[in-house]
């Protein structure tokens, strides 16, 4: 019962944070609104035995949003949110598409009878996850490792002078 | 608290993020929309693990993959945004239209 109340409160907070991202007047505030949304989602994970992943989401998103806030402030044309900020194109069409997607996803979630639960949660889900990624899911982790390496190389390539989008090369067009 | 509740939350987060990704002009705000959509995927994957198949760790692995992809997406997104901005002072999606037909 308490878990149910906590879940719906956290769900409302997560969605409110998500909506606030596109409503507030400052990109820095939008970043922290997104952080609120992620924190609420991380806390809902604690309700369904996912302690490790919940804490992982919380810690990782705090760091990620702090880094993101720096970039957001760099790109912010409206420091401090002193003026109303609306930078949208075709908001009505986007809202319509989003509403259609929400209604169809929600209809699917509510109308389709959920499949029966197979098995019970293990005593320590984090241990099951660890054994899984070091066992039969190791290929997934190996591919992710390659993807992380590719991201590091690609971001360095983009960052160095004379790279793909270096100044001068593209201005000649 | 039920599977339906979690899936509804996931749908709401995904749709909100989709609205942002479609409507925002600033490239960095568009990326915030994408992050919000992945947030919805996290909720759906975690809830699927707990309510549908808790005996196997597949759902948890999916959450882990989604979190990693989100971090990679942010790193690459900002790298590209800054490279484009440095090359031609563009931080709006309309400005970056070289590949448009």
Of A79, A102, A119, which residue is a domain's last? Answer: A79
CA B5, B61, A121, A63 dihedral sign is negative
Mean pLDDT across the stretch A48-54?
Answer: 90
A85 part of a folded domain: no
Check residue B40 and give its pLDDT.
94
Q: Are the Cβ atoms of B4 and A114 closer than 8 angstroms? A: yes
| Probe site for chain B from A102, A121, A123, A169 (most B CB atoms < 10 A) | A102
Beta-strand ranges (E) seen in chain A are none
Mean pLDDT across the stretch B63-75?
Answer: 91
Query: Please, what is the average pLDDT of chain B?
Result: 87
A113 part of a folded domain: no
The residue range of the domain holding A132 is 128-160
d(CA B51, CA A120): 9
A167 part of a folded domain: no
d(CA A116, CA A149): 39
* Burial zone of A162 (CB within 10 Å; 0-12 exposed, 13-18 middle, 19+ buried): exposed
A169 part of a folded domain: no
Cβ B64 vs Cβ A133: under 8 Å: yes
State the pLDDT confidence band at B24, using cuts at 50, 70 and 90.
confident
Q: What is the pLDDT of residues A95-138, one digit of tens each?
A: 899 999 999 999 998 898 888 888 888 888 899 999 998 989 99
DSSP 8-state assignment for residue B91: -
3-class secondary structure, A168: coil
Number of domains into which chain A is organized: 2
A10 part of a folded domain: yes
Check residue A162 and give its pLDDT.
64
Check residue B90 and give its pLDDT.
75
Check residue A173 and give its pLDDT.
43
Domains of chain B (ranges; CATH) run 3-88 (1.10.287.3510)
The DSSP bridge partners found for residue B92 are B26
A70 part of a folded domain: yes
Cα Rg of chain A, angstroms: 21
Between residues B27 and B63, the one the model is more confident about: B63
Q: Are the Cβ atoms of B42 and A170 closer than 8 angstroms? A: no
Does residue A76 carry a pLDDT above 80?
A: no
Mean pLDDT across the stretch A30-41?
Answer: 92
A138 part of a folded domain: yes
Mean pLDDT across the stretch A162-166?
Answer: 59
Q: Count CB-CB contacts under 10 A for residue A119.
A: 10
Q: Complex ipTM, two decimals?
A: 0.90
Helix, strand, coil shares of chain A as percentages rounded to 5?
70, 0, 30
A139 part of a folded domain: yes
Does residue B5 carry a pLDDT above 70?
A: yes
């Amino acid at each position: 019962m308490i878990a149910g109340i906590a879940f719906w409160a956290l769900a409302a907070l997560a969605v409110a944070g998500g909506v606030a991202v596109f409503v507030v007047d400052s990109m820095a505030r939008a970043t922290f609104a997104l952080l609120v949304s992620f924190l609420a989602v991380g806390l809902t994970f604690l309700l369904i035995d996912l302690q490790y992943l919940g804490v992982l989401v919380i810690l990782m998103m705090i760091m990620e949003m702090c880094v993101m806030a720096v970039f957001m402030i760099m790109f912010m044309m409206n420091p401090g949110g002193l003026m109303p900020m609306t930078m949208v194109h075709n908001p009505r069409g986007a809202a319509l598409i989003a509403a259609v997607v929400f209604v169809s996803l929600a209809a699917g979630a509510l109308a389709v009878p959920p499949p029966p639960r197979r098995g019970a949660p293990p005593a320590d889900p984090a241990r099951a996850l660890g054994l899984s990624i070091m066992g039969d899911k190791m290929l997934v982790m190996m591919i992710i490792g390659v993807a992380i390496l590719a991201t590091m190389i690609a971001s360095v390539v983009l960052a160095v002078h004379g790279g793909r989008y270096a100044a001068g090369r593209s201005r000649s067009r | 608290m039920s599977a339906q509740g979690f899936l509804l939350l996931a749908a709401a987060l995904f749709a909100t993020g989709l609205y942002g990704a479609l409507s925002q002009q600033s490239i960095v705000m568009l990326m915030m929309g994408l992050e919000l959509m992945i947030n919805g995927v996290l909720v759906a994957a975690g809830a699927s693990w707990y309510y549908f198949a808790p005996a196997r760790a597949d759902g948890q692995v999916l959450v882990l993959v989604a979190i990693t992809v989100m971090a990679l997406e942010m790193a690459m997104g900002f790298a590209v945004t800054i490279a484009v901005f440095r090359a031609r002072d563009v931080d709006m999606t309309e400005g970056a239209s070289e590949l448009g037909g």
